[in-house]
Amino acid sequence: MIDLSRRVIVITGAGGGIGEGIARSFATAGATLVLSTRSNPVGEMAGKRTLVQVDLNEARAPALIVEAALGSFGRIDGLVNNAGIQPLASTLEVSDEDFRQMLETNVTAVHRLTQAVAHQMIEQGAGGSIIHIASIEGIQPAPLHGHYATAKAALRMHARAAAQEFGRHQIRVNTVSPGLIDRPGLERDWPEGVQRWLSSVPLGRLGTAEDVGDACVFLCSDLARFITGADLVVDGGVLTRPTW
């Protein structure tokens, strides 16, 4: 088992399904957690943690998160940028405001927090690991997800650029790109999509939030010490198919 008992990890969007799964994976690995959420409650889990309730689109959000981490635990060793939005919209019809909101929430807010945490890691002088939760849609877009796919593709390039710049400080930056992750009500809400996925995915199932969380734990551990600027796809192999 990976031991992160000496690491302080910041996780955004920790009140959602994937975010909570990521938090549970890190808690199982013994990490100390700084959990950021805008409004959703965070479930019970083992270990030390502190909660920061903040809207990441606010300019003050990165400072509040860093201050909470330092005030509670004195350092930051890892960051998982998980928070984001995923509304549906046709590329022909999406409004300027909806497109702007997508990029503001899914890219600009990630950049701001990455920047703030990287400055803190550099000041600490011990390196660190930063992960953006992207999506296989940053590689293969789905219908009505054009603005979402654009934002997730941007995250992959942002991570690569940051990896190049931050490497001299021993800060590693990677992305995790999940496929279709199960959640309560998914099959009811999108039965056609679930069936298409299950008929295509080589491993024969939907992903789980813990599948994503365990990938993040690996990338924050010393087992990934020479991995930076990479995209770890967590999709059960679906991208090996021509389409799903």
Cα separation, 119 vs 117, in Å, equals 5
Question: In the annotation, is 185 catalytic?
Answer: no
Catalytic option among 4, 7, 9, 148:
148
Cα separation, 180 vs 72, in Å, equals 35
Q: Which residues are catalytic?
A: 148
